[in-house]
Amino acid sequence: MLKTRVLTGSVLIALLIISIFYATNPIFTLVTGIIFLIAVWEWTRLSGFKSLWGRALAFFAIPGLAFVLFAGLQALGVTGLYQTGVLRRGVIYSILAFWSLVSIGVSIYPKGASLYHSKLFNLIIGIFVLIPPWVTLIALQAIRPSWVLYPLVLVWVADTAAYFVGKRFGKHLLAPQLSPGKTWEGVLGAFAGTLIVSVTGYFLLVNHTGSFFIPWLLLNIITVLFSIVGDLFESLFKREQQLKDSGSLLPGHGGVLDRIDSLTAALPIFVIGLMFF
């Protein structure tokens, strides 16, 4: 199982690096679009749709809106997200409000669990969960490919550190109702990983005077905090639907959503912070 997991992960990382640094932005958009379409299909399952027809209708609802939004961004130019004040503020406020509400929902679960019994509600949630990270990936790759790789490495290092520290020292459960394996000790391990990546990224990417380091570190910490929220949010939906994984496409890893759940929250939050930074 571990061998399969490592092999699958290695192949995915190699393909990811190639697409980030060597693909044109339209090709990168297509590649990431396929990944998110698979994630959308898995989301229909997490939303409670059982029949093939029900999942198919739900599947086309989410990317349909995504393509409309992307067409609008293309009409403004690929960097319209940054250049247009009204659009920028609308996107920022919507994303911040959404993930703030999600943080509350995760923290009080199982209170409010009845909300997730509505398939339509879950479908709308999926739009907010899946579209922003895809759009931000496209925008980042158009500006500077290394800015795409950095938040991915940040979240993965933090997640790996949390896993090993939590496994070795974990005693105090973080969210026993959602993920019995996550502990507060693991969160501290994630922060340790965040510090290492932040220092490295600061000198490789930011290259400012030392006075900018504290805001940069805070941005990284906040990004990792929301990555944990994103992870727990997907766990909430799996718990509600009594599923172990979102899918079975990736041997040893489960589904695509199981691999990008942390990034669904982390990527938009990182980009918003980066804009202010």
> How many domains are there within the chain?
1
Residue 251's pLDDT is 56
Residue 204's pLDDT is 86
Residue 184's pLDDT is 93
**260 burial class (0-12, 13-18, 19+ CB within 10 angstroms)?**
buried
Instruction: Using pLDDT thresholds of 50, 70 and 90, give the confidence band for residue 150.
Output: very high
User: What's the whole-number average pLDDT of the chain?
Assistant: 83
Residue 88's pLDDT is 63
**271 burial class (0-12, 13-18, 19+ CB within 10 angstroms)?**
buried
**Quick check: helix, strand or coil at residue 172?**
coil
Alpha-carbon dihedral 217, 223, 226, 227, rounded to 10 degrees: -120
* Average pLDDT, integer, range 121-150: 88
Which residues in 79-96 are b (16+ Cβ under 10 Å) and which e?
A: eebbeeeeeeeebbeebe
177-234: pLDDT as tens digits: 888 888 999 999 999 999 999 999 998 888 666 678 889 999 999 999 999 999 999 9
Show the domain range for 8. 2-276
Residue 232's pLDDT is 93
**Both structure tokens of 140:** 């980042």
Which helix (DSSP H) or strand (DSSP E) does residue 11 occupy? helix 2-22
Selected residue with higher pLDDT from 179 and 253: 179
